[in-house]
A and B are shown apart, each in its own frame.
Chain A
């Protein structure tokens, strides 16, 4: 097990190194200057002067070297857009907010999704099944901002029961959590329904029934455990994606998370910020996948990872 984890971490480091290198050079092929990115248009002369100050006119390979050395010291540098604020600081400030919201959405989304999926499979062909499937298709196909703005309008403006935006009290978290959880619920319901149905026709379920096990024992000990594996596979990227924030949901609900920084830093050509965000997202994804791989062993002892 230890050996496996060590090996995986080593591979992760290489993956992230490649990610950083490719992103670094690709980012610089985007034409334009971070100092003329929209808010203030400055003269070409001034722009050149600033580029010189920040060392952006030096050979790319030299800049890359500096960046990598600083990266080893875990220093992501200063944002070019948010003058005087370090990228590390910005991530440290916004990541917990995105993470909190992600946690809420996961805690709400997966249990409901699993429940609906299993229920739907068990009541196959009944009204409740159609209801769940209908909801799942709706949830998967309608973008989350539609739910978000509808909730804002009805719950916030019309009824006035929930605050429209900002992220301050638990009350503020309700609408964004639901908006983020809906696609998770829908996706999980669909996957879980399909895999539960598949598992139900397996011989071991028949055996369990023949043994006289109770319905709930069959579901919990046999069906669920086997059916959940596809969900576990998807959980890694979903968590990583949620942790780095959702641009649209954060934008609509005015939540100061990471998602907005990621998108905006690219359009503003804020090189340091984009690099920082990419590395952060990369590390999160690699970590989440590692945890998921370890989880397989727990969920299904037949999967042996230590090879």
Chain B
């Protein structure tokens, strides 16, 4: 039950930082020192609170799940990534919406955008050994090594020869596009251009360095306890009581330790959300960002934390059965489903005030090419009204029935699949709406545990699936998932026109033109594709109001950033 709340598929945070990077990278300018605010941390937000601040001895926060592993190359839930963020130093690190240099001191990108060279600073592991370029190279090799069985592997296929190496077609790691030129110079060669490589490396699937001798020493127990982890980050792991408590203590050997203002971080695993809220109320913890939506009213000052997730109704255009195939591939029917739903009313009633109803896939918080909102700069046409349109829905539905020669009574049973968590209420509400607006009674709900639901999606054993999908807020990330051979495109939808738009967008270097093409693709997906947008789920976090300098990320490895927090004096 607890796991189910964290359905972040793979979460990336970009915002305006991304835009700056993309602009640099896509114009293929040699970048060496232009990284935003490199090395200069702002420890307090003086605009918010006046007066002095003091360092924090111990900061306690609670989350719903323990780490599955701290073996950085095998981490596959964001819960573990959040700890790795503190205990491992990386080439670059995300803080307060910016990407800063961490162990890398500077970097260069070749003119063709395919070779990245990182120059490393003097940094040390917990045991006093130097962090070298080889540690970064080995980390990538280890992720891609089929023997590691890392779920991160496919994220790294942009590296030269990575896919072949991961699939065992080549076995020589020296053929991989990662090299340690010398102790302080690390080079990455890409298979194809990766416009957000720096964000990827720091936020999405961070490549934390790892020492081969340590991995060899602990073998299959590496990363499973305090004794089998070697840290090099701003904190070291000092206690890991499974399913209960993780204590991280400031690492004095960290290169930037003077800017770390919280001496000890205690991360409690408290599975029950109501218990977490109670602990916050009684002052047992300073912060929690996994809160109960219904209780938002009790905390007027609660801060919004956007998750970067798109919730949609996914249509299996092949249909679950031969009978539903015609129905599910009928555009009028899909429009009828979409127009029936009053997204605003639903969001208010079922999801709470931090969730945003949507009728397209672009994020309104994402910055467009000209500095405004991406959605405002790239308007689409014929969008379904957020409040829905019942008359139009019925009109669409009647046309669909006519085209297919069906009546409401002869309509085949349509199966909606969803997870057996709080999605159930939502799915029931949609089905109820369709019954009321369209007069359809043959839409049924089937609720499965997550793995079973996913299996049913993979085997196309559904008609409609209530989906929550988080990739990144750059429009490309979401749109690219629905190309014909997309790894999670379990909809049966395949359209060469759309595929071409998406693949073309990879080679456009002008950001404005790129966004225009992506907006065209978005329009195309809305009109022809297998997804009906519903909302961007959001929630709120609670933090002790005596603490300042906390930054709540969008939900990647940098979800909770406490390291520069201070007390308000």
Instruction: Say whether A33 contacts B455, CB under 8 Å.
Output: yes
A87 to chain B, nearest CB (A): 12
Assess A50 versus B151: contact at CB under 8 Å? Given A40-B77, A149-B274, A163-B284.
yes
Q: How far, in whole Å, are A250 and B244 apart by their CA atoms in the complex?
A: 11
Instruction: Say whether B7 contacts A38, CB under 8 Å.
Output: yes
Instruction: Say whether B151 contacts A152, CB under 8 Å.
Output: no
B487 CB contact (under 8 Å) in A42, A93, A94, A250: A42
Instruction: Say whether A46 contacts B488, CB under 8 Å.
Output: no
Instruction: Say whether A50 contacts B242, CB under 8 Å.
Output: no
A34 adjacent to chain B (CB < 8 Å)? yes
Type the 1/0 row for A244-261, where 1 means its CB is closer than 8 Å to any CB of B: 000000111111100011
A166 CB contact (under 8 Å) in B3, B71, B78, B268: B268
Instruction: Say whether B278 contacts A46, CB under 8 Å.
Output: no
Instruction: Say whether A164 contacts B275, CB under 8 Å.
Output: yes
A84 adjacent to chain B (CB < 8 Å)? yes
Within 8 A of B (CB), among A48-62: 49-50, 53-54
Closest to B76 in A: A40
B89 to chain A, nearest CB (A): 21
Instruction: Say whether A31 contacts B153, CB under 8 Å.
Output: no
B445 to chain A, nearest CB (A): 18
Which segment of B47-55, B215-223, B328-336 sits at the interface? B215-223
Assess A260 versus B77: contact at CB under 8 Å? Given A38-B450, A253-B275, A254-B268.
no
Within 8 A of A (CB), among B1-57: 1-4, 6-7, 9-10
What B residues does A149 contact at CB under 8 A? 274
What B residues does A85 contact at CB under 8 A? 69, 221, 224, 242
A-B contact pairs, 26 of them (CB 8 A): A31-B455, A32-B449, A36-B455, A36-B458, A38-B6, A39-B3, A42-B151, A43-B488, A46-B154, A46-B487, A49-B167, A83-B68, A83-B223, A84-B224, A90-B242, A153-B278, A156-B282, A157-B282, A163-B284, A164-B282, A165-B275, A166-B268, A250-B271, A251-B1, A251-B272, A252-B274
Instruction: Say whether B69 contacts A82, CB under 8 Å.
Output: yes
B406 adjacent to chain A (CB < 8 Å)? no
A167 adjacent to chain B (CB < 8 Å)? yes
Starting from the known contacts A38-B451, A251-B2, 17 additional A-B residue pairs (CB-CB under 8 Å) come to: A32-B449, A36-B455, A38-B450, A39-B7, A43-B154, A43-B487, A44-B458, A83-B69, A84-B224, A94-B242, A94-B243, A156-B278, A164-B284, A167-B244, A251-B1, A254-B275, A267-B451
B123 to chain A, nearest CB (A): 25
What A residues does B220 contact at CB under 8 A? 78, 84
Within 8 A of A (CB), among B275-291: 275, 278-279, 281-282, 284
What A residues does B278 contact at CB under 8 A? 152-153, 156-157, 164-165
Instruction: Say whether B270 contacts A264, CB under 8 Å.
Output: no
Instruction: Say whether A32 contacts B455, CB under 8 Å.
Output: yes
* Interfacial residues, chain A to chain B (CB-CB below 8 A): 30-46, 49-50, 53-54, 78, 81-86, 89-90, 93-94, 149, 152-153, 156-157, 160, 163-167, 250-256, 260-261, 263-264, 267-269
* Interfacial residues, chain B to chain A (CB-CB below 8 A): 1-4, 6-7, 9-10, 62, 68-69, 71, 74, 76-78, 146-147, 149, 151, 153-154, 166-167, 220-224, 241-245, 268-272, 274-275, 278-279, 281-282, 284, 419, 449-456, 458, 469, 487-488, 490
What A residues does B281 contact at CB under 8 A? 157
Instruction: Say whether B270 contacts A254, CB under 8 Å.
Output: yes
What B residues does A251 contact at CB under 8 A? 1-2, 271-272
Q: How far, in whole Å, are A163 and B450 apart by their CA atoms in the complex?
A: 34
Q: How far, in whole Å, are A35 and B449 apart by their CA atoms in the complex?
A: 14
Q: How far, in whole Å, are A152 and B274 apart by their CA atoms in the complex?
A: 10
A84 CB contact (under 8 Å) in B74, B241, B487: B74
Instruction: Say whether B451 contacts A37, CB under 8 Å.
Output: yes
What A residues does B242 contact at CB under 8 A? 85, 90, 93-94, 256
Q: How far, in whole Å, are A30 and B270 apart by their CA atoms in the complex?
A: 29
B525 to chain A, nearest CB (A): 19
Instruction: Say whether A40 contacts B151, CB under 8 Å.
Output: yes
Q: How far, in whole Å, are A267 and B7 apart by their CA atoms in the complex?
A: 14
Closest to B490 in A: A44
Q: How far, in whole Å, are A267 and B421 apart by their CA atoms in the complex?
A: 11
What A residues does B458 contact at CB under 8 A? 36, 44
Instruction: Say whether B149 contacts A45, CB under 8 Å.
Output: no
B52 to chain A, nearest CB (A): 30
What A residues does B275 contact at CB under 8 A? 152, 164-165, 252-254
